């Protein structure tokens, strides 16, 4: 395949990526929210988009099934980044990763007295490093979604999750008790593709770079 394959996830990443791709002269032929197609053609015969789960984007790019993709820093940290060139912070899909706990739980006091905490999260790698760095003892409980439920159901004392407006936390009577890091989406490129398809890839990367906010 000498053309370019771009891996994207549906939802906010796809929507916020459209203007960046347009700046590179690439316009998807269909909306993945309306179509059930997983491979979407574009206005350019040599460029196609594959629609994958957000957390699968780095894997497609790592193995060269996609030449490039767009993935959140959260997803990239959990993946590890092997085989990926990460040239650009796209400044889209911005949010932050934080520790949140029920309003009635004194997280700071629990940390001060050295309590062992059960933490539910999808982001076990980032969470493990965060708590190890603070010297907080935790049992990490891996979840795949709806982390907010865990403290309410008694599964964990606190969660590590992504927050933007904070309205989901608020709706579930949770408070942000610690910020871990700012998150945004990154352009990722397969390292072999960058060498083999540089003539096709570099103009796309440069155009996207020029279009960042």
Binding site for ligand ATP (CB under 6 A): 9, 11-13, 53-55, 72, 74-75, 93-95, 145, 162, 164, 183, 185
How far is 168 from 70, CA to CA, in rounded Å?
25
Which lies closer to ligand ATP via its Cβ, residue 9 or residue 190? 9
Minimum gap (Å) between residue 13 Cβ and ligand ATP? 5
Minimum gap (Å) between residue 86 Cβ and ligand ATP? 14
Which lies closer to ligand ATP via its Cβ, residue 15 or residue 209? 15
Minimum gap (Å) between residue 45 Cβ and ligand ATP? 28
Which lies closer to ligand ATP via its Cβ, residue 9 or residue 42? 9
Do residues 192 and 120 lie in contact, with contact meaning Cβ atoms separated by under 8 Å? Answer: no
Do residues 84 and 58 lie in contact, with contact meaning Cβ atoms separated by under 8 Å? Answer: yes
How far is 122 from 105, CA to CA, in rounded Å?
21
Minimum gap (Å) between residue 14 Cβ and ligand ATP? 8
Category of 91 on φ-ψ map: left (φ > 0), alpha (ψ -120 to 50) or beta: left
Tokens coding 116: 């062992």
How far is 142 from 121, CA to CA, in rounded Å?
5
Which lies closer to ligand ATP via its Cβ, residue 61 or residue 93? 93
């Amino acid at each position: 395949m000498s053309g370019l394959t771009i891996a994207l996830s549906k939802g906010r990443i796809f929507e916020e990526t459209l203007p960046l791709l347009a700046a590179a002269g690439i316009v998807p032929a269909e909306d993945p929210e309306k179509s059930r197609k997983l491979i979407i053609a574009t206005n350019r015969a040599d460029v196609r988009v594959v629609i994958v789960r957000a957390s699968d984007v780095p894997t497609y790019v790592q193995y060269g099934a996609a030449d490039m993709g767009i993935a959140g820093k959260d997803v990239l940290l959990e993946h590890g980044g092997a085989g990926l060139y990460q040239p650009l912070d796209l400044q889209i899909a911005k949010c932050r990763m934080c520790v949140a706990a029920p309003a009635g739980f004194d997280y700071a006091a629990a940390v001060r007295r050295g309590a062992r905490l059960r933490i539910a999260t999808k982001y076990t790698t980032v969470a493990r490093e965060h708590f190890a760095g603070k010297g907080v003892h935790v049992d990490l409980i891996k979840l795949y979604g709806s982390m907010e439920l865990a403290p309410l159901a008694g599964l964990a004392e606190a969660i590590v999750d992504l927050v933007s407006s904070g309205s989901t936390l608020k709706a579930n009577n949770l408070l942000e008790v610690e910020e871990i890091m700012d998150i945004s989406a990154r352009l990722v490129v397969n390292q072999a593709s960058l060498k083999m398809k540089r003539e096709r890839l570099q103009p796309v990367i440069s155009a996207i770079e020029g279009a960042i906010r």
